[in-house]
Amino acid sequence: MPAPLNNIRILDMSRVLAGPWAAQLLGDYGADVVKIEMPKTGDDTRQWGPPWLGDESAYYLSANRNKRSVTVNISVSDGQAIIKELVQHVDVLLENFKVGTMARFGLGPDELLKLNPKLIYCSISAFGQTGSRAEKPGYDAMIQASAGLMSITGPPQHETGGPQKVGVAIADIMAGMYATTAILAALNSRTQSGLGQHIDVPLYDSQVAWLANQNMNFLIGGKTPQRMGTAHPNLVPYQAFATSDGDLMLAVGNDRQFQDCCDAFDMQSIASDARFETASSRVENRDALIPLLQSRILQDSTQHWLGELHKRGVPAGPINDIGEVLTNDHAIERNLVRSIENNKGEPVPQVSNPVEFSATPVRYERAPPLLGEHTDEVLSDWLGYSDADIDTLRQSEVI
């Protein structure tokens, strides 16, 4: 069966991660995604190596499969004209330029929605299209810091160390996820209204939104959340513990699991201790409970304790590195790593989309494209440009 979005065309004018991540997801679901890049340089991340596969950085390869690359210089009038023509053949345009840039080139949402009233125009920016910060630039790390995440990530304040950013650009990735869901919602709305619209997705607001229970802890409890290392503000024990030969992550989510956890550690006495009987009492008496558990867990190995915990259905796991995650038996069983051949015949490894449809499969058809690989193809097929037209544009460095 065809993929879910096989009837949708996307013009991906974004670069780096948030926009490309959203466009890659839409491509995985079958959309025909055309990535617009500057001639000669392309997406910034093409140069963000090492490591490299040929001339492409691993970073670029992580966010650009299932796309075709077309080079267009949008800073010149002929390039802008090409975009305006392409827009009349697409359903969605994604961009993450600094606020005002696209409008300055005559490619803002007002202009392009006049050309194609059914267009879904999605803008991703640091701080949104309106407000006093709208024109300020921003990268993921500064958003993690300024939008609250780093204030709750890292060791507790009384321990050595300070705020930490997450080890991947999670503010970018989550903004891309919000953009994806917004685009799908807008496409559904269009089936009812017949009209497109402009979507505004800020990294900052997205970062704030997905702080989830930590936001509500402040709004309801009135106390500012603090850094807690691997611990959980609302559940105990729910953190990493050192064992005799490593570490494990324990994630006790209810009172029954706590009883089973105490049984696994042969610590039945604390299970009946009034200080620890309920989830809320365990949170209140965290400082008394955690040292008792840690002392016991240090007495045996990670594998021993995981065996005891798993026998009783207590959620717990090892702290695996990425190499282990991508090569272990579970990775093989779930096909977490795939390979797509590029136009040079080289296999390009890719981490699978986590979604499995029962009837409309995710596709893995195109390796991340080489810069400008599909320029001639798209201009010819979509716009009817002749070889002579394309040669003229290339000689004048428009494409």
Give the whole-angstrom CA distance, residue 129 versus residue 339.
38
Within a domain: 326: no
The domain spanning residue 281 has which CATH number? 3.30.1540.10
Domain boundary among 319, 353, 383: 319
Give the whole-angstrom CA distance, residue 341 versus residue 152.
41
Within a domain: 94: yes
Predicted local confidence at residue 150, as pLDDT: 96
Predicted local confidence at residue 183, as pLDDT: 98
Predicted local confidence at residue 137, as pLDDT: 87
Predicted local confidence at residue 396, as pLDDT: 95
Instruction: Please identify which residue in the block is written with the tokens 């709750």.
Output: 152
Write the DSSP symbol of residue 354: S
Predicted local confidence at residue 112, as pLDDT: 98
Position 171: which residue type?
A
Predicted local confidence at residue 160, as pLDDT: 85
312 and 344 fall within a common domain: no
110 and 188 fall within a common domain: yes
Position 185: which residue type?
A
Predicted local confidence at residue 132, as pLDDT: 93
**Structure confidence by residue, pLDDT tens digits, 315-354:** 999 999 999 999 999 999 999 999 999 998 999 999 999 9
Biggest CA-to-CA distance, the chain = 84
The alpha carbon of 198 is separated from its chain's Cα centroid by a whole number of angstroms, namely: 21
Rounded to 5°, angle at Cα 210 from 206 and 216: 125
287 and 138 fall within a common domain: no
Non-local CB neighbours of 69 within 8 Å, separated by 6+ positions: 34, 35, 37, 42, 369, 370, 371, 372, 373, 374, 375
Instruction: Please identify which residue in the block is written with the tokens 């055309």.
Output: 34
Domain boundary among 288, 319, 350: 319
18 and 154 fall within a common domain: yes
Give the whole-angstrom CA distance, residue 85 versus residue 381.
12
Predicted local confidence at residue 57, as pLDDT: 97
- Measured from the Cβ of residue 228, the count of other Cβ atoms closer than 10 Å reads 17
Within a domain: 157: yes
Q: Is 31 helix (H, G, I), strand (E, B) or coil?
A: coil
Within a domain: 47: yes
98 and 187 fall within a common domain: yes
The domain spanning residue 178 has which CATH number? 3.40.50.10540
287 and 177 fall within a common domain: no
Within a domain: 246: yes
Within a domain: 332: no
203 and 245 fall within a common domain: no
Structure tokens at 154: 């890292």
34 and 73 fall within a common domain: yes
Residue range(s) defining the domain that contains residue 205: 9-209+337-395
Within a domain: 137: yes
Residues serving a catalytic function are: 172
Exposed e or buried b for every residue in 76-110, given b needs 16+ CB within 10 A? eeebbebbeebbeebbbbbbbbebebbeebebbbe
Predicted local confidence at residue 260, as pLDDT: 96
Write the DSSP symbol of residue 381: H
How does DSSP assign 212-270, residue by residue? HHHHHHHHHH-------TT--SS-SSEEEEE-SSSEEEEE--SHHHHHHHHHHTT-HHH
Give the whole-angstrom CA distance, residue 200 versus residue 198.
7
End-to-end CA distance of the chain: 36
Q: Is 124 helix (H, G, I), strand (E, B) or coil?
A: strand
Within a domain: 223: no
Structure tokens at 220: 């309801």
pLDDT per residue as tens, the chain (399 positions)? 889 999 999 999 999 999 999 999 999 999 999 999 999 999 999 999 999 999 999 999 999 999 999 999 999 999 999 999 999 999 999 999 999 999 999 999 999 999 999 999 999 999 999 999 998 988 899 999 999 999 999 999 888 889 999 999 999 999 999 999 999 999 999 999 999 999 999 999 999 999 999 999 999 999 999 999 999 999 999 999 999 999 999 999 999 999 999 999 999 999 999 999 999 999 999 999 999 999 999 999 999 999 999 999 999 999 999 999 999 999 999 999 999 999 989 999 999 999 999 999 999 999 999 999 999 999 999 999 999 999 999 999 999
Structure tokens at 356: 């499995």
Predicted local confidence at residue 158, as pLDDT: 85
Predicted local confidence at residue 182, as pLDDT: 98
367 in Cβ contact with 65 (< 8 Å): yes
State the SS3 of 126-154.
CCCCCCCCCCCCCCHHHHHHHCCHHHHCC
Predicted local confidence at residue 159, as pLDDT: 87
Altogether, the residues listed in the chain come to a count of: 399
185 and 277 fall within a common domain: no
**Structure confidence by residue, pLDDT tens digits, 251-295:** 999 999 999 999 999 999 999 999 999 999 999 999 999 999 999
Give the CA distances from residue 88 to residues 285, 353, 387, in Å, rounded to whole numbers and listed in that order: 62, 30, 21
Number of domain units in the chain: 2
- Measured from the Cβ of residue 119, the count of other Cβ atoms closer than 10 Å reads 24
290 and 374 fall within a common domain: no
